[in-house]
């Protein structure tokens, strides 16, 4: 079902807007989140409200939508009247919001993320990932592939390590550009992300993030060179961790990154 409003509001490229054109797609996105009846839901980048309505139809405990573009205020205000007490919205930049203050657990996040901030939003969510029961998120396919990537591949990087350290990740579906308006130049993917009850490896997440960022910022350098940006004890750390000093970041497993972090 095409939404006539799509052609009345011009997408703002600076906000990374590409609107989903079919409620059939948004209904599927909500279904990938599994049962939401007893959960508060946070939606990031609500746009024209098509996904918003699909969420509300599935009777969540509460839905809070965040949207930076004030042009959609009337759409959300109407939904708030129709779903009195179940729905609220905030016209704000999601990067400035502390999501843990919006609703009490259990909380799920469902979002067609704006392309230009999707990575930043995901990294922000990881800082408090245990607060959320699940994340059902739309990404550019290239970004989704980076999240899912394994060592020794070109896509493997910071997102791969940090997300997989804390979460299970499953690709639910790929979407073609024809599912959006305006047509993006890229394909998209829906990921279902569930936080692990305990991390795969006991470590300090922020230390691991520091190591990963320091090394992947220079991904063509050998590990013994890129680590010099954060420690003066590179050789002893790599020896204790039993890691070949000539490997590059893309060859280092999550477990090995954690070993390095634990030795700092």
Residues flagged as binding site for S-adenosyl-L-methionine: 18, 20, 45, 67, 93, 112
CA distances from 43 to 30, 107, 169, 208, 246 (A): 11, 11, 19, 28, 44
SS (H, E, C) the chain: CCCHHHHCCCCCHHHCCCEECCHHHHHHHHHHCCCCCCCEEEEECCCCCHHHHHHHHCCCCEEEEEECCHHHHHHHHHHHHHCCCCEEEEECCHHHCCHHHCCCCCEEEEEECCHHHHHHHHHHHHCCHHHEEEEEEEEEHHHHHHHHCCCCCCCCCHHHHHHHHHEEEEEEEEECHHHEECCCCCCEEEEEEEECCCCCCCCCHHHHHHHHHHHHCCCCCCHHHHHHHCCCCHHHHHHHCCCCCCCCHHHCCHHHHHHHHHHC
Measure the CA–CA gap between 123 and 63, rounded to whole angstroms: 22
Task: In whole angstroms, give the CA distance from residue 226 to residue 228.
Answer: 5
8 Å CB contact between 172 and 190: yes
Residues making up the annotated binding site are 18, 20, 45, 67, 93, 112
């Amino acid at each position: 079902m095409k939404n006539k409003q799509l052609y009345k509001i011009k997408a703002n490229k600076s906000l990374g807007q590409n609107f989903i054109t079919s409620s059939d797609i948004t209904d599927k996105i909500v279904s990938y989140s599994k049962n939401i009846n007893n959960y508060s839901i946070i939606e990031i980048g609500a746009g024209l409200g098509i996904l918003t309505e699909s969420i509300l139809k599935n009777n969540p405990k509460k839905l809070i939508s965040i949207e930076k573009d004030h042009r959609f205020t009337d759409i959300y205000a109407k939904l708030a009247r129709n779903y009195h007490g179940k729905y609220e919205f905030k016209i704000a930049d999601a990067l400035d919001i502390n999501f843990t203050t919006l609703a009490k657990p259990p909380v799920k996040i469902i979002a067609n993320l704006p392309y230009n901030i999707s990575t930043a939003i995901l990294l922000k969510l990881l800082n408090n990932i245990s607060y959320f029961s699940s994340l059902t998120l739309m990404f550019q396919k290239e970004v989704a592939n980076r999240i899912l990537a394994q060592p020794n591949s070109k896509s493997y990087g910071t997102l791969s390590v940090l997300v997989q350290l804390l979460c299970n990740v499953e690709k639910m579906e790929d979407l073609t550009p024809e599912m959006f308006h305006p047509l993006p130049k890229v394909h998209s993917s829906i990921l279902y992300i569930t936080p692990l009850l305990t991390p795969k490896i006991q470590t300090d997440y922020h230390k691991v993030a520091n190591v990963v960022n320091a090394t992947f910022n220079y991904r063509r350098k050998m590990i013994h060179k890129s680590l010099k940006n954060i420690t003066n004890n590179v050789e002893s750390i790599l020896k204790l961790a039993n890691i070949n000093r000539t490997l590059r970041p893309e060859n280092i497993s999550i477990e090995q990154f954690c070993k390095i972090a634990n030795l700092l």
